Amino acid sequence: MNPNSDPFRAARAASGVLQCPFHGEDITMILRHEDVRRAAKDWKTFSSDAPFRVPIPSEEGVRTMRQLPIETDPPEHTDYRKITDPFFQRPKDPAFIARIEALIDGLLLAALGRDAIEIVNEFALPLQSRALTYLLNVPESEAETWIGWGIHVFKVTGGEFKKGNLLEDYLHAQFDRAVARPGEDFFSALTQATFRGRPLNREEMMGFANLAFAGGRDTIIHTVSCALGYLAAHPEALEYLRADPKRITLASEEFFRVFMPLTHIGRVCPEATEVNGVTVKAGDRISLCWASANLDAKAFDAPEEVRLDRKPNPHLAFGFGPHLCMGAAHARLLLRTLLQKCTERVASITVLEAKERIENEACYQRALGYESLTVKLSSV
């Protein structure tokens, strides 16, 4: 399957919405770029104040607390977001950037020394996990535990939810440690934080931490794997970037657009609402379909083409409006640095074996990167 084929094209051109069942719940998907952006800003009509219901399918069975700040609306969302924002601004710090550069350089050098490497589990997962230790300011050794959880903290290969919850047990232990021996890390900061003049309770702390681990895990792994897969399939792209590294910024944004890891995200309508001629009942959900919006020909010229020099590029890979992804700066830094280091270290990437990952739903089938991608990297 073409990774940037568009399963939403017909419905987007017709009504701009697609009604689709997800785990027994009918959800109206908003498909057009303009409509998705408008809805993302209109939190009164399309609310995120819906514990467990923002992800699709819902996650009541795999976590016990609402994720913060994503499952709240302004002004609560604004005040919650300020609490952890300093950690998510760290990727702009030169010392942080230098650590990421050293991390990726080391991972690439190790991969270049091997006859073959499986990118998803042996490169992208360690990269994401170790980079997260830098972001949360915890010992890098913690990454070994996180790597052991696999690609998704809630799901196993094939998309089924895991039994039990290793993540919540781990987070409780980290907060217990932070209370007893506070430091300068993410967990300690939450135990000392206040919200509107009062200390955070444990459920709120868990909500922040749960999202920090779940929100940027398989998304970053997916983007890293897809970018390397693209460079393998299109060696001219690597040469294009090598000829002028200033091209990397635009190229990375195009990779985020085309290889959108999150198909959509949910919102709940507090009151009955009409969406492009479809009535959504009070309390029902709609979805903001980022993947469809990123392939809308009204917003992007030849949207199914990968254009590494695309400008402007108003993609919605990090969302839009007040809930713009807090980890966007971190994700951008990782991908830009990976592309930069590839131009310095890697002459070519040869695919030895690839297994596609496909998202199969009742109303669409969407290519979603790789279950596995085994390659051979050759040195410059």
In a domain, 1, yes or no: no
Q: Which domain holds residue 298?
A: 9-379
Q: What is the CATH number of the domain that holds 73?
A: 1.10.630.10
d(CA 118, CA 345): 18
pLDDT of residue 62: 83
Distance between CA atoms of residues 132 and 330, nearest Å: 9
| Residue whose tokens read 């929100």 | 215
Cβ-proximal residues to 175 (8 Å cutoff; 6+ apart), any chain: 187, 190, 191, 202, 205, 206, 209
Task: Report how far residue 239's alpha carbon sits from residue 111's, in angstroms, rounded to the nearest whole number.
Answer: 20
- Given a contact cutoff of 8 angstroms between Cβ atoms, the answer to whether 54 and 48 are in contact is yes
Q: Cα–Cα–Cα angle for 235, 237, 241, nearest 5°?
A: 125
| Token pair recorded at residue 359 | 């998202």
pLDDT at residue 2, rounded to an integer: 59
Structure-token match 């440690």, residue found? 177
- 116/300 Cα distance (integer angstroms): 37
* pTM, two decimal places: 0.96
- Nearest-angstrom CA–CA distance, 69 and 80: 6
As beta bridge partners, residue 280 has 273
16: left (phi over 0), alpha (psi -120 to 50) or beta: left
Tell how far CA 233 is from the center of its chain. 23
Of 293, 335, 297, residue with least CA distance to 316: 293
Distance separating alpha carbons of residues 219 and 17, to the nearest angstrom: 24
Question: Domain for residue 3, yes or no?
Answer: no
- For every one of its 380 residues, what pLDDT tens digit does the chain have, with 9 covering 90 and above? 455 689 999 999 999 999 999 988 999 999 999 999 999 999 999 999 999 999 998 888 888 999 999 999 999 999 999 999 999 999 999 999 999 999 999 999 999 999 999 999 999 999 999 999 999 999 999 999 999 998 877 755 455 655 557 899 999 999 999 999 999 999 999 999 999 999 999 999 999 999 999 988 999 999 999 999 999 999 999 999 999 999 999 999 999 999 999 999 999 999 999 999 999 999 999 999 999 999 999 999 999 999 999 999 999 999 999 999 999 999 999 999 999 999 999 999 999 999 999 999 999 999 999 999 999 999 99
Name residue 356's beta-bridge partners.
370
Reported as type and span, the H/E element at residue 366 is: strand 365-379
Specify whether the CB–CB gap between 15 and 302 falls below 8 A: no
Q: Are 266 and 287 in contact (CB under 8 A)?
A: yes
Residue whose C-alpha is closest to residue 318's, from 139, 14, 114, 70:
70
Q: Which helix (H) or strand (E) holds 353?
A: strand 346-360
Rounded CA-CA distance 238/226 in Å is: 14
pLDDT (0 to 100) of residue 1: 41
Task: Indicate whether 178 belongs to any domain.
Answer: yes
Q: Indicate the Cα dihedral angle 308, 339, 137, 201, nearest 10°.
A: 30
Q: How many CB atoms lie within 10 A of CB 4?
A: 18
Query: Which ranges of the chain would DSSP assign to H, the alpha helix?
Result: 9-14, 33-41, 76-88, 94-112, 119, 125-136, 142-148, 166-180, 186-192, 202-215, 218-233, 235-243, 248-258, 290-293, 328-345
Total structural domains within the chain: 1
For residue 2, tell me if it sits in a domain: no
Q: How far apart are CA 112 and CA 124, in angstroms?
A: 15
In 3D space, the residue among 176, 205, 213, 203 whose CA is nearest the CA of residue 189 turns out to be 205
- Please check whether residue 4 lies inside any domain of the structure: no
CA angle 375, 376, 380 (to 5 degrees): 135
Please report, as a single letter, which amino acid is at residue 68.
Answer: L
Flag whether 211 is in a domain: yes
Bridge partners of 28, per DSSP, are: 19, 286
How far out from the chain centre does Cα 195 lie?
A: 26
Q: What are phi and psi of 195, to 5 degrees?
A: -130, 110
User: Does residue 147 belong to any structural domain of this protein?
Assistant: yes
pLDDT recorded at residue 26: 95
